[in-house]
Amino acid sequence: MKIVKNIGKGIVIAAVMTASTYASEKYTKVDRIKDMITLENAMGKIQKGILYRSDNNKMVLSGIKDIKNVLHTIEKVEASDFLDNEQLYAKKFAKKTGLLLEMYLDEMEDEVKRGNPDEVIHNYALVLRQCTSCHLRLRK
């Protein structure tokens, strides 16, 4: 019983250490580029899912999941890690864009489940609008 308890404690400590190591890791430009590629591919997945109506919208849902994963990563990193110095003042804008993306993705997911393809397309357009909005403001 004591061994089991100790193993349990060990797992908790290891998890905490992994989490803090992850949190202290700097989000580099390479990470950002990788994430942007993931986002671009995910948007492509959603578009293909809409165009070819893949089985049970699996592609659309998978694209949504990919974007959300990236958003959750970016939420945890310091804005100074992924914004250039002259753009640092726009960190609240970047955060807001993330929230809006999440809102439209949730809505898109709900509409997939409700079987409303027109609304899925509508929300896809709104997500794309947020992408361009952020690029317009933050990309050189």
- Give how far Cα 103 sits from Cα of 52, 84, 99, 109, Å: 25, 26, 6, 10
Contact residue for other proteins among 32, 43, 122, 128 (CB under 8 A): 122
Per the document, the length of the chain is 140
Among 1, 21, 55, 92, binds other proteins (CB under 8 A): 92
Piece of the chain touching other proteins by CB under 8 A; list 18-26, 39-47, 71-79, 86-94: 86-94
Which of these ranges, 7-15, 24-32, 51-59, 101-109, lies near other proteins under the rule CB under 8 A? 101-109
Pick from 93, 117, 121, 128 the residue near other proteins by CB under 8 A. Answer: 93
Task: Output b/e per residue, 105-125; b: 16+ Cβ within 10 A.
Answer: bebbbebbeeeeeeebbebbe
Q: Is 104 in the site for other proteins (CB under 8 A)?
A: yes
10: phi > 0 → left, psi -120 to 50 → alpha, else beta; which?
alpha
Q: Which residues bind other proteins (CB under 8 A)?
A: 89-90, 92-93, 96, 103-104, 106-107, 122, 126, 129, 133, 136-137
